[in-house]
Amino acid sequence: VVNLKKYFEIYDVKSKEKKYVKAVDGISFTINVGETLGLVGESGSGKTTTGKMILNLMKPTSGDIFLEGKSIKNLNKKEMRSLRKDIQVVFQNPYAALDPKMTIRDILIEPLSIHKIVSKYEYNNEVKRLLNMVGLSEKDMNKFPYEFSGGQRQRIGIAKAIAVKPKFIICDEPVSALDVSVQSQILNLLCELQRDLKISYLFIAHGLSVIRHVSDKVAIMYLGNIVEYGDAKSVFDYGAHPYTKALISSAPIPDPKRKNNGIILKGEVPSPINIPEGCPFHPRCKDAIEICKNKKPFLRKIKEDHMAACHLI
């Protein structure tokens, strides 16, 4: 992903002027084969818009996205069909992602037939194989989605995504609608499948606790910008940007002896229609100095495989 921007034009009734919502404001990152990038940010940070642009559901204002070195802009019909197969998505809400009127067998046959993955004589065997891969039984084939728990439905959503042998999956908050007890099972399943099938993941989340367990690299987004990016261990151990530090400090620690230092962010995320001048984080930053109000900091290397955008780093 190279210098990707998405601006939405709106009409401001008060000022009677055209304005731009800068949902994504020039972000870049790389995900290697079999690797997971955790993309973290609060609502309105631009992470979901980024996912939609990668899925080619939304055209970027500028910038580009490459899959295996090939731009996904201006694809012809055949290339677009191939892209739809290569990039899949697992949604946040397994309840809404499956057609309630279809059996699991039909739900899984649909992508197999659209992308001609196997011949129709092999549908049953392939459906059984997919169900086994995600920890479900072939006895489940003729059931409907309402007969499954949330975790099982998410397993079916994952089976649907891997059915077409994708190279890349966008996991859009895939466990946030599930019980905590089920979350780790789904995360483990995603990690196992990645290991076996060499799939790359973009793992979108609003907090760091889930990201910590699955990511090789992490990008922290704030108001359409990546403010910290790098090797996951380095970001968690040496989080440098004040926003990252606040996110890390608010993630629950499963150890009663350890306390986090509980940095509380003041105020709400500003509207993306009126992004503050200078560093977009400055109205909420306890470390802000004068320059932060008028000069935007850009990402720069602070360690090997680790970058942050802050005047004080």
Which positions touch ligand SF4 (CB under 6 A)? 241-242, 279, 281-282, 285, 287-288, 292, 297, 310-312
Whole-Å CA distances, 251 to 44, 132, 255, 309: 19, 34, 12, 22
**Least Å distance between CB 264 and ligand SF4?**
15
Question: Please, which residue, 143 or 311, has the CB nearer to ligand SF4?
Answer: 311
Question: Please, which residue, 1 or 310, has the CB nearer to ligand SF4?
Answer: 310
Instruction: State which H helix or E strand residue 231 sits in.
Output: strand 225-231
Question: Please, which residue, 39 or 246, has the CB nearer to ligand SF4?
Answer: 246
**Least Å distance between CB 221 and ligand SF4?**
14
- Give CA–CA dist 55/45, Å, rounded: 18
Tokens, residue 274: 């009126």
Question: Please, which residue, 156 or 240, has the CB nearer to ligand SF4?
Answer: 240
Burial of 215 (0-12, 13-18, 19+ CB in 10 A): buried
The amino acid that residue 142 corresponds to is N
Question: Please, which residue, 90 or 307, has the CB nearer to ligand SF4?
Answer: 307
**Least Å distance between CB 278 and ligand SF4?**
7
Question: Please, which residue, 98 or 285, has the CB nearer to ligand SF4?
Answer: 285
A 10 A CB-CB count for 91 gives 18
Question: Please, which residue, 129 or 296, has the CB nearer to ligand SF4?
Answer: 296
- Give CA–CA dist 213/191, Å, rounded: 9
- Give CA–CA dist 183/189, Å, rounded: 10
- Give CA–CA dist 158/160, Å, rounded: 5
**Least Å distance between CB 6 and ligand SF4?**
22
**Least Å distance between CB 246 and ligand SF4?**
10
User: Cβ distance 288 to 296 under 8 Å?
Assistant: no
User: Cβ distance 300 to 308 under 8 Å?
Assistant: yes
Burial of 203 (0-12, 13-18, 19+ CB in 10 A): buried
**Least Å distance between CB 27 and ligand SF4?**
17
- Give CA–CA dist 175/182, Å, rounded: 8
**Least Å distance between CB 256 and ligand SF4?**
32
